[in-house]
Amino acid sequence: MKLKFALLGLALIHVLVLGAGFLAPYDPAEQNRDFPFAPPMALHLVDTQGHFHLRPFAYAQIYHPESSAAVPYEIDRSRMIPVHFFVKLAAEGGMGQSGEWRLFGVAPPHRLFLLGTDDFGRDQFSRLLYGGRVSLFAGLLATALSLALGLVLGGLAGFYASLPDHLIMGASELFMALPWIYLLFAVRAFLPLHLGAQESFFLLVGLIGLTGWARPSRLVRGVVLSARHRDYVLAARGFGASDFYLLRRHILPEALGVLLTQAALLIPQYILAEVTLSFLGLGVSEPAPSWGNMLADMQKLYVLESYWWMFAAGVALIPVFLLYHLLADALQQSP
């Protein structure tokens, strides 16, 4: 029940971000330089005269660049912008793929900013959807990488005890103590100048994932140490099972519960790790959005004080974290 709910919720969120190419009205990199930090536009069905419209609409916003107000926009109630469904993306600049179908949009030159815009006038709603792709999957993949490493190394350490155990556990302590920031600098130094969006994504995943194996490996080791002496392991040995067979078939699956709990804790951590990585210039590079670099924007006083809608990525993270939390909880209960 709980499990289904969590899985369904997560699936829904992932489908949403995967469908960014259709659900988002704009290209995430499209700049509207005449609308920096525009506030979110509300959708209406009823106009000022009280007339009901079947087609939702928004009111135009007028930008007053000379105004000293925190949000120098004024809502123009005389100009209604109707929302159209199933529209083709207009060609813009060199980056927007013109002719793509989008779920909704408004007729140019009007713009519809459901969640406002950032400092370049980029549509936050579109960026949120596109950015979710990067962040959610980076978190997921990096966690998978960490856990896989942790599983293998922790499994070996726990199973063979003595020398491998000492070596691997020593290494894990080393890994926990090392200043990651440095390794990251060093890694960046070796990288080629050009990293496409995909390469930098995998780099991000790899870096985050590689740094996190120590904790799970220690936990796995603990589980394996106790699982090693279980009767069914002994029984399989009685049939002449090899070490590899025992590990694969009996011992490592035992660690699954621990790993899932770890996953629920690591995924949020990893999604946010990108905030730090962006600070070092190792995050997803502009103009591609990610929830990490969207939140990094929020860490500036003037944004925090004036533009609350910039926190959209943070709000989006809450249900994601909750659902992972719930998932781990549910999985823990049904071993």
Partner 1 sequence: MNSDPAEKFSQDDALLRVRGLCKAYARRGNWAWSHSRVESLRGVDLEIPAGESLALIGASGSGKSSLARCLACLEKPDCGEIWFAGRKLALEDVSANPRGRPKIQMVFQDPGLSLNPRLTATEIVTEPLLITGWGAGADRAERAAELLKLVGLGADAGGRLPSQFSGGQRRRLSIARALAAEPILLILDEALAGLDLATQAQIANLLLDLQAERGLTYLWILHDLRLVARLASRVAVMDEGRIVETAPTAQLLRDPQSPPGRLLKESILTTPLWIS
Partner 2 sequence: MLSRPPALGAQSEDLLVTTGEAGRVGGRLVASWHSEPKTANPAIALDVVSKELITLLDADLIHINLATQRTEPALAKSWAVSDGGRRYVLELRQGLRFSDGQPFDADDVVFSFNLYLDPKVDSPQRDLLMVGGKPIKVLKLGPYRVEFDFAQPYAAAERIFDGVAILPRHLLEQDYENGKINQAWAISSAPGSIAGLGPFRLKQYVPGQQVVLERNPNYWKVDAARHRLPYLDEIVFLIVPTEDAEVIRFEAGDLDLLEKVGADNYALLEREGGAHGYRLFNLGPGMEYDFLFFNLNDLSAKHLPEIVRKQEWFRRREFRQAVSLAIDREAIVRLVYRGNATPIWTQVTPGNKMWVDEAIPHPARSLEKALELLRLGGFTRRADGTLTDSQGAPVEFSILTNPSNAQRSKMATLIQRDLSQLGMRVNLVSMEFQALMARAFDSYDYEATLLGLVSGDADPNPEINVWTSTGGTHVWALAEVHPLPPWQTELDSLMQSQTALLDFAARKAAYDRVQQIVAEEDPVICLVSPNVLAATKAGLEGLEPSVMRNYLLWNADRLYWR
Partner 3 sequence: MMRFVLSRLTHSLMVLFGVSLLTFAFLKLAPGDYFEQMRMNPQISPGEVAALRAAYGLDRSLPVTYLLWVKSVLRGNLGFSFAFNSPVWPLLKVRAANTLLLTLTALLGSWLLAVPWGVWAAARHGGWLDRVSSLVTASLLAIPDVLIALALLALALRTGWFPAGGMHSLAAESLGAAARWRDLVWHLALPVLALIAGLLPVQIWHVRSALLEVLDAPFIRAARGHGIPPGRLLFRHVLPVAANPLISLFGVSIGTLLSGSLLIEVVMSWPGIGPLLLQAILERDVYVVVAAVLCSTAFLVTGNLLADVLLHVVDPRIRAM
Residues of this chain that bind partner 1 (CB under 8 A): 230-232, 234-242, 245, 249-250, 253, 335
Binder to partner 2 among 4, 33, 51, 229 (CB under 8 A)?
33
Pick what 108 binds: partner 3, partner 1, partner 2, none; C-beta below 5 to 8 Å, kind-dependent. Answer: none
Pick what 241 binds: partner 1, partner 3, partner 2, none; C-beta below 5 to 8 Å, kind-dependent. Answer: partner 1
The footprint of partner 2 on residues 179-198 (CB under 8 A) is 185, 188-189, 193-196
119 lies in the site for partner 2, by CB under 8 A: yes
Binder to partner 2 among 8, 70, 174, 235 (CB under 8 A)?
70
Determine the Cα–Cα distance for residues 28 and 299; give it in Å rounded to an integer. Answer: 21
The footprint of partner 2 on residues 132-171 (CB under 8 A) is none
For 238, the 3-state DSSP assignment is helix
Q: Give the footprint of partner 3 on this chain (CB under 8 A).
A: 170, 173-174, 176-179, 181-183, 185-186, 189-190, 215, 261, 265, 268-269, 272, 275, 295-296, 298-299, 301, 304-305, 314-315, 317-322, 325-326, 332
DSSP for 258-269, written as a single string: HHHHHHHHHHHH
Q: What angle do CA 44, 47, 48 make, to 5 degrees?
A: 130
Least distance to partner 3, CB of residue 335, Å: 11
22 lies in the site for partner 2, by CB under 8 A: no
**198-204 contacts at long range (C-beta below 8 A, 24 or more positions apart):** 200/284, 200/285, 201/134, 201/138, 201/284, 203/282, 204/138, 204/142, 204/274, 204/277, 204/282, 204/283, 204/284
Cβ proximity to partner 1, 104 vs 245, nearer residue = 245
DSSP for 191-246, written as a single string: S-S---HHHHHHHHHHHHHHHT-HHHHHHHHHHHHHHTT-HHHHHHHHTT--HHHH
Cβ proximity to partner 1, 227 vs 312, nearer residue = 227
Bridge partners for 58 per DSSP: 81
Cβ proximity to partner 1, 187 vs 236, nearer residue = 236
Cβ proximity to partner 3, 203 vs 298, nearer residue = 298
| H helix and E strand count, the chain | 14, 5
Least distance to partner 2, CB of residue 13, Å: 28
Cβ proximity to partner 2, 113 vs 324, nearer residue = 113
**Residue 113 · residue 123 · CB < 8 Å:** yes
Determine the Cα–Cα distance for residues 133 and 113; give it in Å rounded to an integer. Answer: 20
**Residue 56 · residue 44 · CB < 8 Å:** yes
279 lies in the site for partner 2, by CB under 8 A: yes
94 lies in the site for partner 2, by CB under 8 A: yes
281 lies in the site for partner 2, by CB under 8 A: yes
